[in-house]
């Protein structure tokens, strides 16, 4: 895992990756479907467009930077073998 | 950090065989894209089957950055009210306007156009002395419209550095990406 | 998902694809709609009919009564409609001229019905040549529907005839 400044280029651990992938898909799909339903009802297409754009930006903010909650399960490397 | 070091590593281990493999892959992708474009050109019978709207003279219909699909089939015949894209003589810029007047004479059309947002017709834009445009000046008639997506093309044209970045990035990705090994 | 570039482009393209699919549903759902308009054009008069010898063409200005109800046309995929009056005549080949047009955008709630009496043509009719006298001319109301995304449709409304006077009105 990178340290210091390069942490911003962030790797996250595997459990965090699964969480991130699940999170963005759910956010975008659900907001777009709700936006689509609202546009069906009000007969105006712009709600779908806004839902797509806003949910994409929100999910980018939540998924791209390596937030601490993605790093809760770091890999446990085995310890250095003792020199005999 | 791994992104940058991985990419640099790919370039370090590149030998002739790997390079030619990646290069041929890249050529295949370019050739497929070109085939698709030419296929569009033939099926829609026009030189540029997809254009991006460059001027604001058709607002509130077509803003800058909208994408239009064009066709030049003979049926249905051209009528006033159709939105057409034409190029004047030697100028490079395609103009998207609506046909106002149409006279058919000797198997050729004499057309007068006007943009929806302009108060006067396009005679001021035609070459001096030219009163109508003809079928040979037309690129096509619009039949499909997608808003906003063409803004990328306008950004690429206005800021050439984006073009270099994009082409450079795509070449790097083309040369370093590997298919998943079984 | 382990590199930042992957995390950057995956949500972005997922959003684009979802929006594209929903727009595609939008387009397809309005492709098969059967548009009807209730329009009528009547009482067409030729106000001015001269022979412009400087430009070698005849000019005419017309006025007419126009009525239309366009509330059925606006579905959720219509951005705005372009209404125009077109004059067709043969001389001997096909000629067609737009003499009046109007744009009704979708949020312009009030005049989905328009009614004009003795509306003057916006554009003068200019004919190459001198053969409009006594000609029978067909005036049609047509509509072009510009979508939010998708196919562009043309609909034809009602039409009416007019015969041009046999003499110029100097």
Residue B181 within a domain: no
Query: What is the reported pTM?
Result: 0.77
User: Predicted confidence band at A51 (pLDDT cuts at 50, 70, 90)?
Assistant: confident
Q: Position of tokens 């529907």?
A: C145
Contacting residues for C154 by C-beta, under 8 A, at least 6 apart: B79, B81, B82, C142, C143, C144, C145
Q: CB B145 to CB C97 under 8 A?
A: no
Task: Tell which of B77, B84, B100 to mutate to test the C interface (max C CBs under 10 Å).
Answer: B100
Scan residues 8-47 of A and list those with Cβ closer than 8 Å to C: 9-12, 17-18, 20-21, 24-25, 28-29, 32, 36, 39-40, 43-45
Tell whether the model's pLDDT for residue A1 goes beyond 70.
Answer: no
Round to whole Å and give the CA distance between C144 and C103. 10
For the CA atoms of C57, C61, C67, C72, what is the dihedral angle to 10 degrees? Answer: 40
Q: What is the pLDDT of residues A7-37, one digit of tens each?
A: 556 677 777 788 888 888 888 888 888 888 8
Q: Give the gap in angstroms from C-alpha A9 to the nearest C-alpha of chain C.
A: 6
Dihedral class, residue C150 (left if φ above 0, else alpha if ψ from -120 to 50, else beta): left
Do B107 and B162 belong to one domain? no
Say if B20 falls within a structural domain: yes
* B69 and B140 together in one domain: yes
Closest approach of chain C CAs to the CA of A56, in angstroms? 6
At residue B182, the pLDDT reads 44
Chain B residues in contact with A6 by the CB 8 A cut-off are 1
Q: Quick one: tokens of C60?
A: 């005419």
Q: Write down which chains contact chain A via at least 3 CB pairs under 8 A.
A: B, C
Residues B90, B119 within the same domain = yes
* B2 lies within 8 A of chain A by CB: yes
With 90 as the cut, is the pLDDT of residue C56 above it?
no
Q: Are B68 and C69 in contact (CB under 8 A)?
A: no
For residue B146, the distance in angstroms to the closest alpha carbon of chain C comes to 5
Q: Pairing relation of β-strands B67-71 and B138-146?
A: antiparallel
pLDDT: which is higher, C49 or B144: B144
Chain B residues interacting with chain C (CB cutoff of 8 angstroms):
2-3, 60-61, 79-83, 98, 100-106, 110, 116, 121, 142-147
Same domain membership, residue B160 and residue B116 = no
Taking the CB of residue C44, how many other CB atoms lie within 10 A of it?
Answer: 20
| Contact predicate C35/A48, CB 8 Å | no
DSSP run (H or E) holding C53: none
pLDDT band at C109 (very low <50, low <70, confident <90, very high): low
Q: Considering the domain boundaries, does residue B79 fall inside one?
A: yes
Let me know if B107 is a catalytic residue. no
Q: Does position C144 have pLDDT exceeding 60, yes or no?
A: yes
For residues B9 and B80, membership in a common domain is answered with: no
Write out the residues of chain C at the interface with chain A, using a CB-CB cutoff of 8 A.
1-4, 7-8, 10-12, 14-16, 18-19, 22-23, 25-26, 75-77, 148
Dmax (CA) for chain A in angstroms is 77
Say yes or no: B36 and B103 in one domain. no
Q: To 5 degrees, how large is the angle CA B157–CA B160–CA B166?
A: 95
pLDDT band with cut points at 50, 70 and 90 for residue C40: confident
Tell me: do B73 and B124 sit in the same domain: yes
Residue C49 contacts residue C169 (beta carbons within 8 Å): yes
The H helix count followed by the E strand count for chain C is 1, 9
How many residues belong to chain A? 84
User: pLDDT tens across C73-101, in order?
Assistant: 777 788 888 888 888 887 777 888 888 88
Buried b or exposed e, range C134-149, using 16+ CB within 10 angstroms:
ebebebbbbbbbbbbb
Domain interval for residue B11: 2-44+152-176
Nearest to B96 by CA among B136, B142, B132: B142
Would residue B21 show up in a list of annotated catalytic residues for this protein?
A: no
Q: Is residue B182 part of a domain?
A: no
Q: What CATH number has the domain bearing residue B107?
A: 2.10.109.10
Tokens 């085939």 -> residue: B35
Provide the domain count of chain B.
2
Q: What pLDDT does A9 receive?
A: 60
| Predicted pLDDT of residue B32 | 93
Residue of A8, A24, A42, A53 to mutate, interface with C, max C Cβ within 10 Å: A24
Residues B76 and B142 in one domain: yes
Interface touch C98/B100, C-beta < 8 Å: yes
Same structural domain, B7 and B78: no
> Are B59 and B15 within one domain?
no
Evaluate the CA torsion angle B22, B27, B32, B33 in order and state its sign: positive
Residues B164, B127 within the same domain: no
With a cut of 50, list the residues of chain B below it in pLDDT.
Answer: 182
Q: Which two tokens stand for residue C37?
A: 């308009």
Q: What is the DSSP letter of A77?
A: P
> Scanning every residue of chain A, which has its alpha carbon at the shortest distance from the alpha carbon of B148?
A49
- Look up residue A83 and give its DSSP letter: P
> Who among A24, A36, A66 is closest to C10 (CB)?
A24
Does residue B114 lie in a domain region? yes
Domain coordinates in residue numbering, chain A: 21-64
Residue closest to B58 by CA, chosen among B103, B94, B101: B94
Q: Are residues B128 and B157 in the same domain?
A: no
Q: What count of CB pairs under 8 Å joins A to B?
A: 7
In this structure, which long-range contacts are made by residues A73-80, counting pairs with CB atoms below 8 Å and at least 24 apart in sequence?
A: A73/A13, A73/A14, A73/A15, A73/A16, A74/A1, A74/A13, A75/A13, A75/A14
Give the active site residue among B97, B107, B116, B177: B97
């Amino acid at each position: 895992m990178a340290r210091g400044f390069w942490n911003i280029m962030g790797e996250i651990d595997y459990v965090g990756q699964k969480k991130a992938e699940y999170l963005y898909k759910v956010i975008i799909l659900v907001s777009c479907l709700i936006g689509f339903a609202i546009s069906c009802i009000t007969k105006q297409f712009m709600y779908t467009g806004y839902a797509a754009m806003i949910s994409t930006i929100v999910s980018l903010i939540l998924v791209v930077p390596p937030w601490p909650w993605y790093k809760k399960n770091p890999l446990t490397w085995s310890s250095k073998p003792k020199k005999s | 950090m791994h992104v940058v070091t991985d990419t640099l590593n790919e370039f370090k281990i590149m030998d002739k065989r790997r390079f030619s493999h990646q290069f041929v892959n890249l050529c295949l992708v370019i050739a497929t894209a070109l085939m698709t474009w030419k296929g569009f050109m033939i099926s829609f019978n026009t030189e540029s089957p997809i254009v991006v709207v460059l001027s604001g003279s058709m607002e509130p219909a077509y803003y800058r950055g909208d994408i239009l699909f064009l066709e030049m089939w003979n049926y249905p015949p051209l009528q006033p009210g159709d939105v057409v894209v034409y190029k004047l003589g030697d100028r490079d810029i395609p103009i998207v306007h609506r046909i106002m007047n149409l006279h058919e004479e000797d198997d050729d059309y004499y057309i007068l156009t006007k943009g929806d947002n302009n108060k006067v017709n396009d005679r001021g834009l035609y070459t001096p002395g030219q009163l109508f445009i003809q079928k040979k000046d037309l690129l096509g008639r619009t039949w499909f419209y997608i808003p906003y997506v063409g803004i990328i093309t306008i950004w690429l044209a206005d800021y050439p550095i984006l073009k270099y970045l994009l082409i450079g990035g795509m070449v790097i990705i083309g040369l370093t990406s590997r298919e998943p090994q079984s | 998902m382990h590199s930042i570039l992957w995390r950057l482009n995956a949500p972005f393209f997922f959003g684009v694809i979802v929006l594209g699919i929903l727009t595609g549903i939008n387009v397809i759902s309005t492709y098969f709609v059967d548009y009807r308009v209730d329009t009528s054009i009547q009482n067409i008069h030729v106000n001015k009919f001269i022979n412009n010898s400087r430009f070698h063409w005849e000019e005419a200005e017309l006025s007419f009564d126009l009525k239309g109800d366009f509330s059925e046309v606006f579905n959720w995929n219509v951005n705005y409609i372009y209404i125009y009056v077109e004059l067709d005549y043969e001389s001997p080949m096909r000629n067609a001229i737009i003499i009046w047009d109007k744009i009704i955008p979708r949020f312009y709630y009030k005049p989905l019905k328009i009614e004009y009496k003795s509306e003057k043509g916006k554009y003068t009719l200019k004919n190459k040549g001198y053969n409009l006298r006594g000609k029978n001319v067909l005036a049609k109301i047509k509509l072009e529907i510009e979508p939010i995304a998708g196919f562009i449709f043309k609909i034809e409304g009602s039409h009416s005839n007019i015969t041009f006077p046999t003499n110029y009105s100097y």
